[in-house]
Structure 1
């Protein structure tokens, strides 16, 4: 194949020594700078390989360098393997925290100290009454302004489920549909179906790919023309809404729209869930549990792409605690996740250090600083040795090739 160059070291040159030399980042960087061919078929030419200058010590020293590198890089590899397990452990830790939070286990001690709070059943009744009154007000206002009747909010009457065995919920918690925790004042909808061209002066659009790490990544938002944005006025954000990916491979990815997104619009693949009367942070945390995600993915329909329609989303169940407990849960989860974030930051630092260590060891080895030189050992042991110059001359004679270029390395005592 033309994708590989075969290097056969001559006698007196350890192939493992050459292999480790080629692993150096400096060699790979120089190779990339000399690539030939077209995109997708780039390769280092054989002339580049042939012209590489290899620092060549005596054979015994080559073998000591290889042995030392194998020992040290083996330890580096073991460290990398141990570090590679940490992200999985942190992911399981976060899921355990969320499962405990949304089943009441995380705040069991809090409930013992706060037994006079309004239970979720009373919260549901109170919010239901307030929502019915608010809906009537919206209907009257629409009639007076000669506007169309506001959206029918079938979530005014909550569909409370008390026969679920998914979790053993505390007695003052209740299961409700997502539609119940949404405010009646703002549309529950998805966004722009055809965003058109990326308009430099248009309104910013939040797409599914912009939902990252529980918030909106503002760095790569696109803009939509003003006329298209005006057509989708109902899907504009105010900040604080729950955003859910409902189309594509990322179904179930959620974020809370920051206030800095006020006025932005959303794409078709994103659903806007307006939440005001309960803790949006708590609902967000519930949607990040493996159980909620499995429900959303399981309900998705496969058309051209997996799609979760609004009716399916609005009936996703939420284990609802008393309002004050929702807020306490959100606070505790945030604190525990901040602890996990700190570990992740330290992990990234450790991984970067390990990556640098590999290249540092290779560079040190080929500067002649990793093991005692053959010259120093021979002097210490009062014996003769074959210097690299003699090795090169022997290789030349045995292989019947012309003179080999030599750049002498200064002797180092160690």
Structure 2
């Protein structure tokens, strides 16, 4: 049965493992504390995933030689990373800016090969897909998800041109969300600056504020 209750005429249904390669992250012992380097190769962790994107500002980095030894655990444009421990199922689509970065032990890499990557990322973020993952996560204190289990997730597949159209429409909305988030952050910064100045006795009519 489809996760979405119905498969429209002309569409198909498959499993995630049939339309993408899935790999779990490296062993937790693969990167040691002294392997870190401020100017090294980025290693994406669950903390870096926000609203379907990788937030690069606080990404940990490792030395180039360590990254080379972990080459099978790199990401490229159009990959998707998914959390496999803790809050399982959180995900991010990989942009070109993250090409060659590593993904951590708490993530899985989903590399699409028979489906439009952005479409698949939005599909995996659907509440129905997230609920499917949560129901199959194992463990008590710390839920976890294996690549083999995730591979069984049912995926609804429109024709390729429909996948592309859906992905484009949702990406436009994503861009609007990001623009509003940026505006909100700037407004908060301006508010905090203004509050500090006013509470030092400066009057707003003396301030030259730019929106």
TM over 0.5: yes
SS of residue matched to 1:244: strand
Deviation at 1:199, TM superposition (A): 2.9
Q: How does the TM-score come out when normalised to structure 2?
A: 0.77
Aligned 8 A contact 2:2 2:156 in 1: no
Aligned 8 A contact 1:207 1:267 in 2: yes
Structure 1: stretches of 5+ with no match in the other structure? 1-162, 368-414
Q: Kindly indicate whether residue 143 of structure 2 is the aligned counterpart of residue 306 of structure 1.
A: yes
Q: Kindly indicate whether residue 171 of structure 2 is the aligned counterpart of residue 334 of structure 1.
A: yes
Aligned 8 A contact 2:24 2:146 in 1: no
Q: Aligned residue for 2:118?
A: 281
Q: 1:206 to 1:318 in 2, by over 3 A?
A: same
Q: Kindly indicate whether residue 7 of structure 2 is the aligned counterpart of residue 173 of structure 1.
A: no
Deviation at 1:346, TM superposition (A): 5.1
Q: Which gives a bigger RCO, structure 1 or 2 (Cα 8 Å, sep 6+)?
A: 2
State which of 310, 318, 324 in structure 1 corresponds to 2:161. 324
Deviation at 1:299, TM superposition (A): 1.1
SS of residue matched to 1:274: strand
Q: 1:165 to 1:228 in 2, by over 3 A?
A: closer
Q: How does the TM-score come out when normalised to structure 1?
A: 0.42
Q: Aligned residue for 2:207?
A: none
SS of residue matched to 1:168: coil
State which of 65, 75, 94 in structure 2 corresponds to 1:257. 94
Structure 2: stretches of 5+ with no match in the other structure? 204-211
Q: Aligned residue for 1:294?
A: 131
* Cα shift readout 1:310-336 (whole Å, capped 9, x = no counterpart): 111111111111011000001111223
SS of residue matched to 1:191: coil
Q: Aligned residue for 1:196?
A: 32
* Cα shift readout 1:80-106 (whole Å, capped 9, x = no counterpart): xxxxxxxxxxxxxxxxxxxxxxxxxxx
CA distance in 2, matches of 1:352, 1:341: 17
Root mean square deviation, CA, Å: 3.1
Q: Kindly indicate whether residue 116 of structure 2 is the aligned counterpart of residue 272 of structure 1.
A: no
Deviation at 1:179, TM superposition (A): 0.8
Equivalenced residues, count? 199
SS of residue matched to 1:318: strand
Aligned 8 A contact 1:241 1:280 in 2: yes
CA distance in 2, matches of 1:356, 1:225: 38
CA distance in 2, matches of 1:276, 1:177: 13
Q: 1:165 to 1:281 in 2, by over 3 A?
A: closer
Deviation at 1:229, TM superposition (A): 4.1
Aligned 8 A contact 2:48 2:59 in 1: yes
* Cα shift readout 1:103-147 (whole Å, capped 9, x = no counterpart): xxxxxxxxxxxxxxxxxxxxxxxxxxxxxxxxxxxxxxxxxxxxx
Aligned 8 A contact 1:191 1:265 in 2: no
**Structure 1 or 2: more helix by fraction:** 1
Q: After the TM superposition, which residues 126-145 of structure 1 pair with which residues of structure 2 at under 5 Å, given as runs?
A: none
**Structure 1 or 2: more strand by fraction:** 2
Q: Kindly indicate whether residue 2 of structure 2 is the aligned counterpart of residue 164 of structure 1.
A: yes
Aligned 8 A contact 1:279 1:323 in 2: yes
Structure of greater Rg: 1
Aligned 8 A contact 2:24 2:105 in 1: no
Aligned 8 A contact 1:177 1:318 in 2: yes
Aligned 8 A contact 2:48 2:55 in 1: yes
Deviation at 1:204, TM superposition (A): 3.2
State which of 209, 215, 218 in structure 1 corresponds to 2:53. 215
CA distance in 2, matches of 1:231, 1:219: 24
Aligned 8 A contact 1:214 1:254 in 2: yes
